[in-house]
A = this chain, B = another copy of it.
Amino acid sequence: MRSNIDGPGKIGHIAKTNRAADAKLLPDLDAAIRALGLRDGAFLSFHHRLRNGDAVMLAVIDAAARAGLRGLHIAASSIFPVHAPLVRHIETGVVTGLCTNFLSGPVAQAVSTGALAQPVTLRTHGGRARAIRGGELQIDAAFVAAPAADPAGNISGTEGPCAFGVLGYPQCDALFARKVVAVTDTLVAYPAPRIQIAQDHVDFVVTLPRLGDITGILSGTTRPSDKPEDLAIARTAAAVIDASGLLVDGFSLQNGAGGASLATAAEIGHRMTARGITGSFASGGITGFHVDMLEAGLFRSLLNVQCFDLRAVESFRCDPRHQGMSASAYANPRDRGAVVDRLDAVVLGAAEVDLDFNVNVTTRADGVIIGGSGGHADTAAGAKLTVVTTRLTAAGYPKLVDRVGTLTTPGTTVDVVVTDAGIAVNPARDDLADRFRAAGLSPVPVADLHRLAQARAERLPRRATTGRIVALSEYRDGTVTDVVRQV
């Protein structure tokens, strides 16, 4: 063929690019590990939408181990009890590094007792998105558990036996990882329906018999609690939000998926219904309970980073008012701002709260890791009103303490603590205290609640102040705000 110009314009290399329909399809994860050309020390990423039903992460690490890889770094969005077999891979040196936004179960126990030579980095959901987009966390291969995928790698979250709905967490990974593998148990004809991650972000497609156990995927309480002590705290928290003046048309809310947290949302819903208030959005992990609120007209929309139950999946699939969002849109602290920065109120839990309103949701009273921020620190920072609900004691330990075992969420971002023995307002928010008093609520100094908690407690939390550092608690902006030491 002739080129129309000399020099750089050679066109002899130009040919058709049509693909064999299965060009990206690999027979199994072993083939994927080979095709990726991974080396020892590679960073592999995983998302947690399969939660405690996830079979994908271990299947991948097993394959990597079979391939003889060592020194791998797992960049997860969360680790659950189901990931227990990872401990063996840590012991054998296949896995030597871990970063995650939430760490629980046997892997958390192993990390706490020093199984890893290098400290785990615990990030927030928004901090992880920031770290990936900013190049601080460079992922060699992202393995995206995909409820359905087509042979070209288009990924759908709303089809297949493990349809979990919104693919909020892996979107940053898919954009920025060097290589991306869609792992699915439901290979669909091209093009996949309701594509959430498109083929131009995916290198390979691998099928597994089953992504996981759907009952584990949908773990967690997703209906309001009916325990009297939870309902008492919920009523107080709702009264606090109401008294703040934020409960007007356009109101936005995030609350966790626990029974007490949903009870608070239910209380708020009653007040909204009674007064004819229409909120703008509810965000975060979304449950059927939130869908009920949407359909009752209490909110104009839902902004969903992960579905917590099948009703949420079905609503996301069918109702355009129910929109998905990436972890970056949800909580990335970079200068463009995120959904969390538009929240009026967030209702959060706590393992411990201290005299400076700092919150720990990372370690237990005995110092063992039991979680991490997830979106806790992100929403606390973003919301105009951050309400932390907690009982005074749990399992005999005080939950109000001198100083939190691990600082997960800085007290500068926490406005009110609601307990079963009263509420305390951050001294930086005198404006709120005035409003609460005017509304007949009676805030007390946090030291009073602390004193009560200490009096009720049967034992003291253990604090390791020396010893090897097993985890770094990283704030959403990348600052290391605390360390966790070996127990």
Contact = CB atoms under 8 A, between A and B. Distances in A.
Interface stretch (A112-120, A229-237, A339-347): A339-347
Interface string A294-310: 00000011010000000
A325 B24 CA distance: 20
A483 interface: yes
Given A382-B18, A403-B4, A342 B410 contact: no
Given A195-B323, A329-B199, A412 B337 contact: no
A482 B6 CA distance: 9
Nearest to A413: B16
B412 A1 contact: yes
A456 to B, nearest CB: 25
Interface residues of A, number: 81
Interface string A152-193: 110000000000000000000001000000000000011101
Nearest to A193: B320
Would you call the interface of chain A mostly helix, strand, loop, or mixed?
loop
A175 B333 CA distance: 17
B11 A410 contact: yes
Interface stretch (A47-55, A68-76, A85-93, A473-481): A473-481
A11 B337 contact: no
Given A1-B356, A336-B200, A480-B5, A382 B11 contact: no
Nearest to A320: B194
A10 interface: yes
Given A191-B280, A342-B152, A412-B14, A480 B336 contact: no
Contacts of A336: 24, 153, 199-203
A365 interface: no
A334 B179 CA distance: 13
Given A199-B336, A326-B200, A412-B14, A5 B189 contact: no
Contacts of A341: 17-19
Q: Which one of A337, A383, A406, A482 has the greatest number of beta carbons of chain B within 10 Å?
A: A337
Contact of A190 (B281, B334, B411): B281
Given A18-B382, A190-B342, A483 B5 contact: yes
Task: Please indicate which of the listed interface residues A200, A281, A412 has the most CB atoms of chain B within 10 Å of its own CB.
Answer: A200
A24 B337 contact: yes
A23 interface: yes
Interface string A246-276: 0000100000000000000000000000000
Nearest to A3: B481
A282 to B, nearest CB: 11
B479 A189 contact: no
Contacts of A343: 18
Interface in A453-487: 475, 477, 479-483
Best-buried of A17, A320, A323, A483 by chain B (most CB within 10 Å): A17
Interface in A324-363: 325-326, 328-329, 332-343, 356, 358
A146 to B, nearest CB: 15
Contacts of A137: none
Contacts of A321: 193
A1 B332 contact: no
B413 A15 contact: yes
A482 B4 contact: yes
Given A4-B403, A407-B3, A483-B5, A323 B10 contact: no
Closest 7 CB pairs of A and B: A198-B329, A4-B482, A19-B341, A4-B407, A14-B410, A200-B329, A200-B328
